[in-house]
Structures are given as structure tokens and as C-alpha cells.
Chain A
């Protein structure tokens, strides 16, 4: 390190600590707000039915080896045949369903709500941080980094002479945004596990497509090799009993 900067302790007391505390509090607040805003919408019968079919197909896939081969084959044919199998989607219908999803106002509304609860507090905090704390060197990372991280860590100060490990207040905000997930999952429980980064990814995907997952389940079922495990259970039962009798 070339030279150590001398930072005022007031920065610590009035920038670093308040910023972090506020980040935590906002995270907690957002959790409760999104909990309140969560709406229950009555689902479409067709979607419910498809969901149930998928569930059943998944059960069949994961526990296939527990039922006799004949029963398994019957079920597979029932679900996968090309004429009227439940998982079989006629070709024309596939696009139709997606178009319908886009036009469904309820869906879009729900999506909006979800995103709003994420975007609004985020922009507000960011604006707040920008307004109050722009241009501070607020923190220092205790390990050396290469020059490439300069734009990431010193967002908001344009000095190329400062050591890279110093962090501007705005970048400290970003670090908090991504690093506090662990703390949130501790204090808010598992439900919060879906963090911002994941949500952003989801936005790109715009929900899931039920017809596609129907097809995927069908493919999965088609390639399953049925191997009845029950005969092995006889040996296992023998072993269990032998142990029991010996006691």
C-alpha cells in the first residue's frame, strides 16, 4: 500500500454505520411489506389441472421403482401416449398458451406488484445514499485487489491515485445490497432466501411456461428405465429381521 489515508471518525459514525443499519432495516421493512402485498389470486382451472398432472408425473418419475413394472407401464402410457396422453401437448397449442399468458392482465399485475415492491425501495435508498453520502471514502477492504475492481468499489469518486481497496459510500451500499443476504435469512427466515439477484434473473424469464414443463416431464418419463426395487427389499427385510432376532 502506497500510503494510508487518514479518515475522520465522523465518517464512521455518520456514514458507515448509519448506512449499514439503514440497509438492514430497509430489508426487514421490505420483507413485511411484500408479505402484506402478497395477493391470492384464483387460479385458472386449466393451469391447476396441468399443475396436478405435472406433480403426478414427477411422483411417478421419482418413485417409479416402487411399483410393479406392469403398473408403471400402464401409467406411463396413460400419461405419455401420443393420442390423448395427459402430458402430450398438441403442437399448435403451445404458442397459444404463451400468448394467452401475456395477455392475462392479472398475471401482469401480479408481476408488477412483485417488481414494484423490489424496485421502489431500492431506487429510494439509492437516491438517498446518493444525496447524502456521495463522494465519501467510507470503507476499506482488508485485502488487496487488482485495478479492475476500481470501477466497482470506487463508484462515485474519480481518483486514480487512491488505493483500490478503499471503498466509496455508494459502492459500500452495493456491497451491502448483495452481502446482507445471509443476515436476512437468519433474522427473517428461509422465505427471504430469494434475493434480489435471483429476482432479477426471473424477470428476464417472465414466469414459467406450463406447456413447456409438460413436455419436459414427458421426456423425462419416456427415458426412465424401470427397475423394480422390491426384490431387493426382500433381502433388506431379511437383514433387518436377522438383526432384530439377534438382539
Chain B
């Protein structure tokens, strides 16, 4: 999870590195730790370290990790030559490694040679059927080919064994959302909430999915999860604030007139959300304030 302080640290390091202030290695380490996709930067600054023998030796044994990181970044930027060279260096150092065999397969995959890549992944899995990363690559490749259904199938099979892998659950949830299979996506998000109950963004996505599904019960649940997102982010998540408003309006439409008791209790929540939104807009984007008011008026929430 990328927290606020980590994001700030990353931005600070990034601007420092961009202005030639050094700290490239720390920057790359942080990217690796936070699992952020900044392939262009990784490629650029990783190469400056790797091409300088003095810098390269100063990081010691982590050199090889860096080669791997740069190789993947190069694949992402489609600089195949760099990737190939990195893999060659790694291959020389670790002739037997499975991890590098996977990198080689990824190179094939990036070039679009699906069949060769698939063969390589399959042979890797034959050797070690518990190789999680390779399983995941195969799913990703199916997705890249455009064969989403196959990706879903692979992923489901994978999750049958590795059912505590939240990254895979997240991928599956996102695929289901893209396929508009919201019920299944909701299940995946529940699983994510179970494994990391304090991450507000899962609550938020779950609420989004429930809101999209519609129906009174789902809307009420969605509103609750928007509320928990608000609480877990200290009210700083704009999307959750909007979500609360939308849910409140939708519920009001569905239950016209006959308000039940529970609603009355939490009546304040959306009016507070509206106030918070207005305050936030006033502070950060005053020119867009009329837009907000008109939107809220159309939801019949603004007084």
C-alpha cells in the first residue's frame, strides 16, 4: 500500500534525482518496495547506475536485483536490446536460474511471440508447478493477447490453490469489473477486504461495485462502505464523499416518502459529506465550485 508519507517521499526523491541531486539507487529501491510502475524512470536511472562501474560496485550484491528490475522496465518500454543485454548478464551469473528463464520468456512475451512464450512458461510450470510468478505471467499473457476469458479461467484455477494471494484476487476483481460481472467482482473485493481490512481503497471499490449493482439493499450496504472509506481516510477521499451522496440520493428515490428508521439516524452523513465536499472544492478548486453545486442540486441533496 502506498501511504501518504511514502508518496511524499517518492515525489521528493524523484525530483531530487531528476535535478541531478543523486539518490538514484534509493529512488529505485523505493519504487521496488512500493511496487510502482515507473518503467521509464527505472530504465533511465537504472542504466546510469549499471553503466558506471564505480556506482555499480557500490551497491554490492543488489546489483543483480537491479539488473532484473531494469530488464523488466526495459521490456515495459519496449527497449528490447537493453532487456536482452541485462538478461544476458544475469544468465552469465546464474546459469541455472528459473527466475531468469522466466525473464527470457517475458522477453518473448513482450515481443508478441505468444506461442513461444507460452511454451516457455509451460515448461517452467512443469518443473515447478508451485511457481506463483509464472502462473501470474501466464494469466497476464492471456490478458495481453486479448483472451480475457482464458485469463479468468487461469486465474480461477490459480486461486483454487493459492487462495490467500490478495494480488491475484485484486487482478481478478479488476478483470470482472471490466467484464461487467459485478457480482463476481464483489466477491473478490470481499476477499480483499478480509485479507486487508484497513485498506480503504478496497472498501471504496467494493462500495462502487455494490452501487453499480443497484437495488435497495446493495445501495445501503454501499453507503456503509463509503462511510468506512471516509473514516479510514480521515474524510480526505473525494470519491467516497461523492459516493455517499450518490447512494443517499438513490436510496431516497427508491424509498420515496416511506423512510425507515435507520435512514433517519444516518441522515446527517450525506449532508456532512456535501459540506465536506464544498469545503474541499473551495480550498482546492474554487473555480469548479458552481459545477459541484449544480451536480449536487441535480441529486436533490443540496439545500
Contact = CB atoms under 8 A, between A and B. Distances in A.
**Chains A and B touch (C-beta atoms under 8 A apart):** yes
Given A45-B161, A52-B163, A238-B266, A230 B230 contact: no
Chain B contact residues: helix, strand, loop or mixed:
helix
Interface in A55-90: 55-56, 59-60, 62-64, 66-68, 71
Given A71-B190, A236-B231, A52 B275 contact: no
B195 A234 contact: no
Interface stretch (B35-43, B74-82, B105-113, B220-228): B220-228
A63 B164 contact: no
Nearest to B226: A237
Chain A contact residues: helix, strand, loop or mixed:
helix
A245 B272 contact: yes
Q: Select the residue from A230, A234, A235, A244 with max chain B CB neighbours within 10 A.
A: A234
Contacts of B194: 56, 59-60, 63-64, 66-67
A126 interface: no
A230 B195 contact: no
A43 interface: yes
Given A237-B230, A241-B269, A241-B273, A67 B163 contact: no
A66 B129 CA distance: 34
B264 to A, nearest CB: 12
A64 to B, nearest CB: 8
A241 B272 contact: yes
Given A45-B129, A241-B272, A233 B228 contact: yes
Contact of B221 (A55, A64, A68, A243): A68
Interface string A30-50: 000000000000110100110
Nearest to B241: A241
A53 interface: yes
A148 interface: no
A63 B224 contact: no
Interface residues of A, number: 32
A63 B268 contact: no
Contacts of A160: none
A91 interface: no
A197 interface: no
Interface in B82-130: 128-130
Interface string A211-247: 0000000000000000000110111111011111100
A70 B140 CA distance: 32
Interface string A101-135: 00000000000000000000000000000000000
B292 to A, nearest CB: 15
Contacts of B272: 238, 241-242, 245
Interface residues of B, number: 32
Contacts of A63: 193-195, 197
B300 interface: no
Contacts of A59: 164, 194-195
A181 to B, nearest CB: 29
Nearest to B166: A59
B235 A66 contact: no
B234 A66 contact: no
B235 A48 contact: no
Given A63-B194, A245-B276, A230 B225 contact: yes
Contact of A48 (B161, B197, B234): B161
Interface string B179-197: 0000000010010011101
Contacts of A62: 197
Contacts of B225: 230
Interface of A: 42-43, 45, 48-49, 52-53, 55-56, 59-60, 62-64, 66-68, 71, 230-231, 233-238, 240-245
Across chains A and B, which 5 residue pairs bring their CB atoms closest together, nearest first? A55-B164, A237-B227, A233-B228, A230-B224, A241-B272
Given A66-B194, A240-B234, 6 more contacts: A59-B194, A64-B194, A233-B227, A234-B223, A243-B235, A244-B279
19 contacts: A45-B129, A45-B161, A52-B162, A55-B163, A56-B195, A59-B164, A63-B193, A66-B197, A67-B193, A67-B194, A68-B190, A233-B224, A233-B227, A234-B227, A240-B231, A241-B230, A241-B235, A241-B269, A245-B279
